[in-house]
């Protein structure tokens, strides 16, 4: 017996289960892992997740898990491991909204609650679990962008900044032949209109639009109305139960609001809805899966409880939450206002800074240009000063030249006057010389004639003397000696009477010598006079040349002097 007992104790130790198990909880924006005790109930795990997330509005949410071909919600009153949870390690749960509010703005108090609902509803719209028209999809996408990126800044949000974001359902994208850039342009046009809206406000605006969609917050289940298997759809939401045709989830064929339902019950596969109005027929439908029936009943009970709770006075906890949320919103509003003012002031300061920087750059450019202009002006001033100095020197030189030119002009004028006077004197001398030459010529001609007469007289006298000598010789030879004295009687050619000439040999020689001397003196005087005439002509020609040069230099035009032609009065040589 002792051996058998020990063997059983060893087998018991081998089959002993661990005290903890691992759980992975996936929220809409995070994943968390926990180590749970085996004895934990669903409420223990759910409370741990809510505390971790910071959620107080727990009645909207639940932990959902997958079981076979459907899903189920973790029951809070039963142990976790006693339910039909997956046997994986870790066990995966999805933390999701199980029930939806009728009016999100009034019922969702906490910001974390709004955020989780926003993420879940957005995913359902993108996954086409909630039908949304293209226009509403674009508007909702613009609020989603505002919640993610804040205010639109054209300088920061360049074209293509939404390329990696999933914002529109694929059905909408396929419905129109538009490029991604065209969709982004439409979304950005709405996005730019949301300036100044905070993230929580943008998410709330998103939910306020989404709650008006026909499929918002509705859980659909396949049912049949009778034994003949007429297919229908049952929709469960915050307002009641709805019966749809299989091909239409938007417009219900029949609705049962929670306020008009007296009782809901099911027996195995049959559901019964009893209205408060006893005159109305009881509605029955069938579901083939027991697990789905339990889920339907669970959702009906939860939605009905929330429906009734909304119509009662809020609990102290909810009042405290709303009060805190109100204070928190007021505080955040003040903070946002302060932040907006600071942002505005910062933007104004940045604009002022940019303006000042622009102005500084402009002033720097102006200063640079001014410096360059100053340097150019200094260079120009130096150049102008140099030019002025050169001009001044040139002016002095020109003044000096002008003075010299004036002196030269005065000198030339004086010279011209002197030249005119000299010319006049020379002309006068020339006229006198010409007159003298004429007189000399006349005198020369007269003397020449006289010399000719004298020569003729001398010849006649010599002939008479020769005849007298001949005759004397003849007489001497015949009779007696004669005295060498000859008395000649001859008619003078100058007069009409006769003159007596007593010639001796010495007298004849002396007379010949005097005549020759006078002729030579006259010839010498004639040469001298001709030389003087030549000198006068050369001086007159040089004076004319100087006068022409002076006229070319100082632009003074002088009339050429009258020069008598010497050829008109040629000198006649005196020939003995």
Annotated binding site: 75-78, 294
Q: Give CA separation, 172 vs 131, 146, 166, 218, 254, in Å.
A: 10, 21, 12, 21, 29
- H or E stretch covering 23: strand 20-26
| Burial zone of 293 (CB within 10 Å; 0-12 exposed, 13-18 middle, 19+ buried) | buried
Q: Which string of b and e fits 337-376 if b means at least 16 CB within 10 Å?
A: eeeeeeeeeeeeeeeeeeeeeeeeeeeeeeeeeeeeeeee
Concatenated DSSP letters of 58-115: GGGEEEEEEETTEEEE--SSSBSTTSS----SSEEEEEEE-S--SSHHHH--SHHHHH
β-strands 20-26, 91-97: how paired? parallel
What end-to-end distance do the CA atoms of the chain give, in Å?
213
Q: Which two tokens stand for residue 570?
A: 């040629």
Q: Report how far residue 537's alpha carbon sits from residue 426's, in angstroms, rounded to the nearest whole number.
A: 9
* Contact predicate 98/219, CB 8 Å: no
Is residue 65 left, alpha or beta, with left meaning phi > 0 and alpha meaning psi from -120 to 50?
beta
Residue with tokens 């417009």: 251
By the 10 Å C-beta count (0-12 exposed, 13-18 middle, 19+ buried), 454 is classed as middle
- Cα separations in angstroms, 137 against 80, 134, 169, 181: 39, 5, 8, 16
Burial of 326 (0-12, 13-18, 19+ CB in 10 A): exposed
Q: What residues contact residue 556 under an 8 Å CB cut-off, 6+ apart?
A: 412, 413, 416, 550
Closest CA to 219 of 237, 207, 233: 237
Closest residue by Cα to residue 259 from 247, 272, 276: 276
Contact by Cβ (8 Å): 98, 302: yes
């Amino acid at each position: 017996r002792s051996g058998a007992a020990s063997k059983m104790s060893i087998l018991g130790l081998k089959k002993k289960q661990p005290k903890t198990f691992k759980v992975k909880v996936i929220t809409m924006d995070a994943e968390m892992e926990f180590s749970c005790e085996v004895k934990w109930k669903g409420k223990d795990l759910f409370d741990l997740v809510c505390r971790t997330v910071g959620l107080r509005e727990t009645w909207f949410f639940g932990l959902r898990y997958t079981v076979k071909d459907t899903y189920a919600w973790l029951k809070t009153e039963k142990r976790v491991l006693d339910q039909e949870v997956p046997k994986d390690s870790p066990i995966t749960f999805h933390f999701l909204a199980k029930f939806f509010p009728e009016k999100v703005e009034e019922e969702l108090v906490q910001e974390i609650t709004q955020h989780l609902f926003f993420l879940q509803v957005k995913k359902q719209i993108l996954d086409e679990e909630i039908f949304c028209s293209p226009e509403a999809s674009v508007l909702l996408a613009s609020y989603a962008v505002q919640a993610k990126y804040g205010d639109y800044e054209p300088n920061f949000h360049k074209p293509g900044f939404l390329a990696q974001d999933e914002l529109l359902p694929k059905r909408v994208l396929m419905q129109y032949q538009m490029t991604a850039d065209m969709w982004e342009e439409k979304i950005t046009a709405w996005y730019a209109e949301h300036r100044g809206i905070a993230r929580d406000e943008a998410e709330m605006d998103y939910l306020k639009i989404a709650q008006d969609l026909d499929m918002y917050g509705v859980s659909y289940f396949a049912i049949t109305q009778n034994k003949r298997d007429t297919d229908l759809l049952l929709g469960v939401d915050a307002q009641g139960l709805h019966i749809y045709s299989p091909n239409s989830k938007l417009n219900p064929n029949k609705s049962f609001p929670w306020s008009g339902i007296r009782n809901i019950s099911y027996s195995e596969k049959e559901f019964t809805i009893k209205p408060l109005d006893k005159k109305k027929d009881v509605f029955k439908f069938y579901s083939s899966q027991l697990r789905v029936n339990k889920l339907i009943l669970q959702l009906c009970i939860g939605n009905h409880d929330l429906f009734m709770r909304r119509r009662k006075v809020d609990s102290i906890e909810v009042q405290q939450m709303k009060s805190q949320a109100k204070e928190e919103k007021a505080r955040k509003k003040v903070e946002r206002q302060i932040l907006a003012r600071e942002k505005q002031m910062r933007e104004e300061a940045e604009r002022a800074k940019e303006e000042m920087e622009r102005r500084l750059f402009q002033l720097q450019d102006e200063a640079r240009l001014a410096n360059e202009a100053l340097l150019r002006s200094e260079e120009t001033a130096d150049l102008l000063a140099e030019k002025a100095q050169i001009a001044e020197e040139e002016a002095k030189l020109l003044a000096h030249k002008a003075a010299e030119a004036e002196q030269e002009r005065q000198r030339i004028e004086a010279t011209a006057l002197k030249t005119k006077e000299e010319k006049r004197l020379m002309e006068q001398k020339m006229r006198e010389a010409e007159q003298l030459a004429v007189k000399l010529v006349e005198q020369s001609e007269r003397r020449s004639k006289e010399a000719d007469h004298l020569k003729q007289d001398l010849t006649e006298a010599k002939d008479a003397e020769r005849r007298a000598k001949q005759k004397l010789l003849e007489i001497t030879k015949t009779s007696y000696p004669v005295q060498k004295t000859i008395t000649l009687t001859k008619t003078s050619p100058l007069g009409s009477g006769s003159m007596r000439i007593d010639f001796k040999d010495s007298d004849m020689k002396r007379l010949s010598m005097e005549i020759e001397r006078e002729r030579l003196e006259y010839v010498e005087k004639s040469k001298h006079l001709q030389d003087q005439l030549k000198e006068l002509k050369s001086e007159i020609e040089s004076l004319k040349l100087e006068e022409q040069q002076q006229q070319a230099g100082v632009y003074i035009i002088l009339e050429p002097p009258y020069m008598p032609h010497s050829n008109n009065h040629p000198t006649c040589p005196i020939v003995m």
